[in-house]
Amino acid sequence: PHVVREIRRQPETWAQALGLLPGVRDVLPRTGERVAVLGCGTSWFMAMAYAGLREAAGEGETDAFAASRFPAGRRYDRVLVISRSGTTTEVLRAIERADAPVTAVTALKDGPVARAAREVIVLDFADERSVVQTLFATTTLMLLRGSLGEPLDEVIEQAAGALDAELPGDVENAGQFTFLGDGWRYGTSLEAALKMREGARLWTEAYPQLEYRHGPISIAEAGRVVWLFGAPAPGLVADIAATGATVVADELDPVADLVRVQALTVRRALAAGFDPDRPRSLTRSIVL
Ligand code: F1P
C-alpha cells in the first residue's frame, strides 16, 4: 500500500519541510497577530493542534475552525488554511469569507485553494497517493511547530523509532480505542481516532483528558484501549485501569505517538482485508 511508504517517509520529509522555514516565515503568523486556522477532516485537527501550541507559546490568540464553520465578520490579522488536495470546497468558501490576508498550506501548487489565497506554502514533496492522510498532515504540523521555535530533532528521532514499534497484544487486537489529550494534544487525539476509523473501520473516540470521566469512561472495559497523549492527569490511569480497559501512556511526543497509531491502523486494516489506501465511502477531496 502507498500509505505504508508514506508513513515511513515522515521523519525525513519533516526534516525537509523544516528546511523551508527561513523562506516561509514572512507568510506565517507573526508574534501578537490574531490568527484563525482552518481545514477539514485531518487538516482541521492539525489546525487545532497548531492553534493550541501557538497560544501556549504566547504568540497570540489563535482560533481553529472546521472550514465550514468559519464565521463571517470576525476580525483576524491572518487566516491560515490547510488543505492537502488544494480543492476542498468548504476551504474555498471560507477563504471568500475571510477579511484578512490568507496563507494556504497545500500540496497542490496551482489549484483552486492556492489561487484563492494571497500567500501559498507548497508542500508538494509531502503529497500522498493514499486517500488517508498521514504524511502531509504531520509534515504541515511539524513545519508549523518549527515556526514557533520548537526544537524538533528529538521528535524526528522518536518518530523513526515509532515506525517499527511493537505494541502489546491487547492493544494490537483491541475492539475499541479512545484517545485522550490535553491542550494541543486534543488535536492529535482527534486525528488518531479519525485515522483508525478511516483506515481500519474501528470504533474510536477522542476527548480532552479531563472530560473523560464526565461520561465517556462508561464504555471502558476489558478488550478496549484508552490511549493517552501526554502525561496523565492525577488518578486518571488508576480510574481507567479499574474498568479493565488497557491503558497506553508513554512519554513520546504526541506526533511521534501518532505515527504508532498510523502504523497500527495499517496493520489492522490489512488483517481485516481492507485496502488502507482506499477506504470505502471516502474520496481524496470533497468538492461540493
Ligand atoms: C480534507 C479531508 C481529508 C480526508 C478525506 C476528505 O482534505 O477531509 O482529511 O481524509 O480525504 O478530505 P484536504 O482539504 O486536506 O485535501
Q: How far is the CA of 182 from the centre of ligand 1 (A)?
A: 24
Provide mean pLDDT across the span 140-161: 98
Complex ipTM over 0.90: yes
**Residue 279 in domain:** no
**Residue 89 in domain:** yes
- Contact present, 31 and 59 (Cβ < 8 Å): yes
- Tell me which residue has its CA closest to atom 4 in ligand 1: 41
Do 135 and 248 belong to one domain?
Answer: no
Q: Which of 88, 117, 150 is the last residue of a domain?
A: 150
pLDDT at position 162: 96
Q: How far is the CA of 84 from the centre of ligand 1 (A)?
A: 7
DSSP label at residue 30: P
Nearest-atom index, ligand 1, CA of 113: 14
Q: 14 lies in which domain range?
A: 2-150
Query: Number of folded domains in the chain?
Result: 2
What grid cell was written down for 150? 520548537
270 band by pLDDT with thresholds 50, 70 and 90:
very high
Instruction: Using the structure block, give the residue that is written with the C-alpha cell 489561487.
Output: 115
Q: What is the mean pLDDT of the chain?
A: 97
Q: How far is the CA of 213 from the centre of ligand 1 (A)?
A: 31
Provide mean pLDDT across the span 256-267: 98
**Residue 284 in domain:** no
Do 23 and 131 belong to one domain?
Answer: yes
Do 171 and 125 belong to one domain?
Answer: no
Nearest-atom index, ligand 1, CA of 107: 16
Which spans in 122-165 are helix H?
135-147, 153-162
Provide mean pLDDT across the span 155-179: 96
This prediction's pTM? 0.98
Task: Indicate which CATH number applies to the domain containing 250.
Answer: 3.40.50.10490
Q: Which of 125, 150, 175 is the last residue of a domain?
A: 150
Q: How far is the CA of 192 from the centre of ligand 1 (A)?
A: 15
**Residue 135 in domain:** yes
Provide mean pLDDT across the span 48-75: 97
Do 116 and 179 belong to one domain?
Answer: no
**Residue 204 in domain:** yes
Nearest-atom index, ligand 1, CA of 284: 11
**Residue 276 in domain:** no
pLDDT at position 166: 85
Closest CA to 61 of 38, 79, 35: 35
- Residues 82-116 pLDDT 10s: 999 999 999 999 999 999 999 999 999 999 999 99
Whether residue 277 has pLDDT greater than 90: yes
CB of 230 closer than 6 angstroms to any ligand 1 atom = no
What grid cell was written down for 6? 508514506
Do 129 and 9 belong to one domain?
Answer: yes
Do 120 and 11 belong to one domain?
Answer: yes
**Residue 88 in domain:** yes
- Residues 66-76 pLDDT 10s: 999 999 999 99
What 3-state class would DSSP assign to 2?
A: helix
Q: Which of 150, 175, 203 is the last residue of a domain?
A: 150
Do 100 and 223 belong to one domain?
Answer: no
**Residue 287 in domain:** no
Do 15 and 104 belong to one domain?
Answer: yes
Q: How far is the CA of 242 from the centre of ligand 1 (A)?
A: 37
- Residues 234-250 pLDDT 10s: 999 999 999 999 999 99
